[in-house]
Amino acid sequence: MTFLPNYLNSILKAAAFCCLALTLLPAYAQDAPKQGNHGINVANMDRSVKPGDNFWLYCDGDWIKRTEIPPDRARLSVFSTLDDLSNKRTAALIDELAKSNAPAGSSKRKIADLYNSYMDEAAIDAKGLAPLQPHLKAIAAISSKKELAYALGQTLRADVDALNNTNFHTPHLFGLWVAPGFNDSDHYAPYLMQGGVQLPDREYYTSDNEHMRDIRAQYQTHVSAMLKLAGFTDTDARAQRLIALEHAIAEKHLTLAENDDIHKANNTWTQSDFNTKAPGLDWAEYFRGAGLAKQASFIVWQPTAFAGESALVESTPLETWKDWLAYHVLEEYAGYLPKAFSDESYAFFGAMLQGAPQQRPRWQRGVMVVNRYLGDDVGQIYAQRYFPPEAKAQADAMVANIIAAFRKRIDALDWMDPKTKAEAQAKLTTLYVGIGYTESWIDYSGYEVKPDDVFTNVWRGKLFQYHRQVARLGKNVDRHEWSMTPQTVNAVNLPLQNALNFPAAVLQPPFFDPKAPAAANYGAIGSVIGHEVSHTFDTEGSAFDSKGRVRNWWTDADLAHFEAATAKLAAQYDAYQPFPDLHLNGKQTLAENIADVAGIAASYDGYHASLAGKSAPVQDGFSGDQQFFIAFGQNYAAKGRDAALRQQVMVDSHSPAQYRASTVRNIDAWYSSFDVRPGETLYLAPDERVRIW
């Protein structure tokens, strides 16, 4: 469970269209952090707004007014500004490596070669569709459903992630996630998940909303155009049939809210179970194609989707499936094919779905490609250069304070049974907190990179990651393993490992500034830390015990209390309505909203503990507590295009920024800090405020 939506995973088809990372530094970058001034940024606030009416605008209103979203962006935020910094640094590192003329086969040379192979547009255009032709020919040669099953198996990749970087979307028929087993958390197990559609979520196929109908009409035009570019004939009819197939697949899918239920996901199937529980697809051929013929069993996340999708393999004509395969491989690799493909793909998935008319500059996309396929090699140098031991020590101390605050809060809960409390405390004791960077870097020596062939570099990169994951099946779990590179601006809780990662790139001003008052650091990065710690105890995290096993360690009464409190929180977020025809889904965002509420509460306590009885310094006329809450609100300075905001509401487990900033309405101290009174928009009577941890 991450702190921020992972736009890279959800939107990026070919590492071509990222939405959170990278920019030409916008105006905002020049004023945050302020020179010679550390702590909250009063120039970003709009003090004409009452904090109790709209805390987000109060903290960020002037920034929102003066910020313009550049044409290559779907959204800007305080996080994207830090991403820009991280990417500029990474680009400079890559540039140095490229000039160092490192020996062939060395990791430095691979980084340079991968980046340069992406940057060489002339070489990519000159090759035309040639790199993809062998794959298209193989698809054209499929002559039976048995061969189709094998070919579908060959597309399986390690491209989904249910609980860490949370990504439930794969365009391949199914997706593989290798992680500690639900029932044996000491060993890695294979989780299989539903897939098979290109649009971001089933809602895009099934919703009757006018906006969605418009997207579907444009999708038909886009699919036809892609097929035409690749030399197919009769493309309108082919597009119509393969979209009808995607629609049928989407109808079998579980919703995002349903995917969050661990207990429904814990289904162990042997290979023969697939034949009886999900007949249609030739499973033996599928697993042979995937290189998993010897894997005895799998955990199937969405059994009904597997049954439905497998039946569709049998009932849908072979030719439709072949068109589906051809279009899917074209779309997946469009960013590494000649400009016409890349532009057509972006026009739909970037400009149409996200609202940003222009692609990012190519160098920024090149950095993303390197981060995706050689991220740890770059990260190792990045961490050495940009994360000094002093910063690590100070971040360690904050984490310790916030975890101590969490412990006290658990002890003080009047509704919780002592036995449940003891297991909650045990979870905090075994929690591994990674600060800055991993202790064991990924070894990419098995990944071959060629200087002038980005298509096969990316193809092999995905295969390398897949084989690396498959090779881990059945092996002992490394609880200290990281799931983020140090240059990533985000944070994550890994529930099956009972571990947290805070990458170096997020431990930077304005979130974390060693020179800022404690109030600002605890309000900003402290709430992020608290958020990740509390994922340990959200609706999903609380399903796992201190060893990462799925085990109910709750008494019935405790669970009933927890469920009542969380239902109240879900209702609070259900009521938010960013568009007249679109509400937030309180259940889909529940785990993240719990983490936001519990995170700020624990960080507030940690802040007070850090003062050790001394009074806090006043800054710009704001008390320590006021600075704490304003710093929290300033985490959510963000501006997005309507299309991007709609997509987030529909496909993401994180609430949009303005509602995350409103989390404060559940915290008593916020009311006294800003004199918030009944009648103001965000006001909640004391018994309506949600207190969970």
If the CB atoms of residues 52 and 495 are measured against Zn ion, the closer one turns out to be: 495
What are the residues facing 508 on neighbouring strands?
A: none
Cα angle 436-82-490, degrees, rounded to a multiple of 5: 50
Identify the three-state secondary structure at position 119.
Answer: helix
Give the other-Cβ count within 10 Å of 606's Cβ.
Answer: 26
Q: How far is the CB of 293 from Zn ion (least distance, A)?
A: 37
Closest approach, Cβ 490 to Zn ion, in A, equals 9
* Near Zn ion in 284-343, by CB under 5 A: none
Other C-beta atoms closer than 10 Å to the C-beta of 372 total 19
**657 touching Zn ion, by CB under 5 A:** no
In angstroms, what is the minimal distance from the CB of 569 to Zn ion? 14
- Give the three-state DSSP class for 656: coil
Could you give the strand order of the β-sheet that contains 499-503, starting from the edge strand earlier in sequence? 432-436, 499-503, 492-494
Q: Which of 648, 666, 398, 626 is nearest to 528 (CA)?
A: 398
Alpha-carbon distance 201 to 204, whole Å? 6
Largest CA distance in the chain: 77
Count residues binding Zn ion (CB under 5 A).
3
Other CB atoms within 10 Å distance of the CB of residue 389: 8
Nearer to Zn ion, 45 or 595 (CB): 595
CB of 571 to Zn ion, least distance (A): 20
- Asked whether the beta carbons of 466 and 148 are under 8 A apart, the reply is no
Q: Quote the least distance from Cβ 274 to Zn ion, whole Å.
A: 33
Q: Minimal distance in Å, beta carbon 602 to Zn ion?
A: 14
The interface mask with Zn ion, positions 534-553, x = CB under 5 A, is: --------------------
- Rounded Cα distance between 152 and 290, Å, is 8
Q: Is 1 in the site for Zn ion (CB under 5 A)?
A: yes
Minimum Å distance from CB 392 to Zn ion?
22
In the complex with Zn ion, the residue whose CB is nearer, 592 or 605, is 592
What is the number of alpha carbons within 13 Å of residue 587 lying toward its C-beta? 9
Query: Smallest distance, Å, CB 492 to Zn ion?
Result: 8
State the minimum distance, in angstroms, from the CB of residue 79 to Zn ion. 13
- Decide whether 1 or 650 has the Cβ nearer to Zn ion: 1
Enumerate residues 557-616 that contact Zn ion by CB under 5 A.
Answer: 592, 595
What is the smallest separation between the CB atom of 248 and Zn ion, expressed in angstroms? Answer: 33
404 neighbors 513 (Cβ within 8 angstroms): no
Nearer Cβ to Zn ion (470/595): 595
Give me the numbers of helices (H) and strands (E) for the chain, helices first please: 31, 9
When the beta carbons of 3 and 205 are compared against Zn ion, the nearer one is 3
| Nearer Cβ to Zn ion (235/536) | 536
What gap in Å lies between CA 480 and CA 282, rounded to an integer? 38
Q: Decide whether 531 or 641 has the Cβ nearer to Zn ion.
A: 531
Closer to Zn ion by Cβ: residue 416 or 533: 533
For 48, the 3-state DSSP assignment is coil
Please, where are the H alpha helices in 17-165? Answer: 27-31, 55-66, 78-99, 107-119, 121-127, 133-140, 145-154
Phi first, then psi: what are they for 52, rounded to 5°?
Answer: -75, -15
Omega prior to 33 cis, within 30 of 0: yes
For residues 595 and 598, which CB has a smaller minimum distance to Zn ion in the complex?
Answer: 595
Kindly tell me which of 39 and 606 has the beta carbon lying closer to Zn ion. 606
Q: Are strands 297-300 and 174-180 parallel, antiparallel or unpaired?
A: unpaired
Cα 668 to Cα 684: distance, rounded to the nearest angstrom: 10
Least gap, CB of 534 to Zn ion (angstroms): 9
| Nearest-approach distance from CB 591 to Zn ion, in angstroms | 7
Closer CB to Zn ion, residue 458 or residue 492? 492
Give the tokens for residue 364.
């920024």
Nearer to Zn ion, 154 or 589 (CB): 589
Q: Which is nearer to Zn ion, 179 or 528 (CB)?
A: 528
Q: How far does the chain reach from its first CA to its final CA, in angstroms? A: 18
Residues 167-226 that bind Zn ion (CB under 5 A): none
Can you spell out the DSSP letters for 302-328?
-HHHHHHHHHHHHHS-HHHHHHHHHHH
Query: Nearest-CB residue to Zn ion?
Result: 1
By CB under 5 A, tell whether 265 contacts Zn ion: no
Cβ atoms of residues 620 and 596 within 8 Å: no
Strand, coil or helix: what is 450? coil
Q: How far is the CB of 231 from Zn ion (least distance, A)?
A: 45
Amino acid at 340: A
Strand 268-270 to strand 75-77: parallel, antiparallel, or no bridges (unpaired)?
A: unpaired
The residue among 367 and 529 lying less far from Zn ion, judged by its C-beta, is: 529
The site string for Zn ion over 618-647 (x = CB under 5 A, - otherwise) reads: ------------------------------
Q: Cβ closer to Zn ion: 331 or 592?
A: 592
- Least separation in angstroms between residue 436's CB and Zn ion is 19
What amino acid occupies position 567?
A
How many residues in the chain? 693
Applying the rule CB under 5 A, the residues between 445 and 484 that interact with Zn ion are none
CB of 601 to Zn ion, least distance (A): 15
Distance CA 333, CA 226 (A): 12
Phi and psi, residue 579, nearest 5°: -135, 155
Q: Are 309 and 173 in contact (CB under 8 A)?
A: yes
Instruction: Please check whether residue 199 is in contact with residue 246, taking contact to mean a CB–CB distance below 8 angstroms.
Output: yes
Tokens of 234: 């009769």
In the numeric block, which tokens belong to residue 593? 């909203």
For residue 531, the minimal CB distance to Zn ion (Å) is 6
Cα separation, 248 vs 317, whole angstroms? 13
Residues that bind Zn ion (CB under 5 A): 1, 592, 595
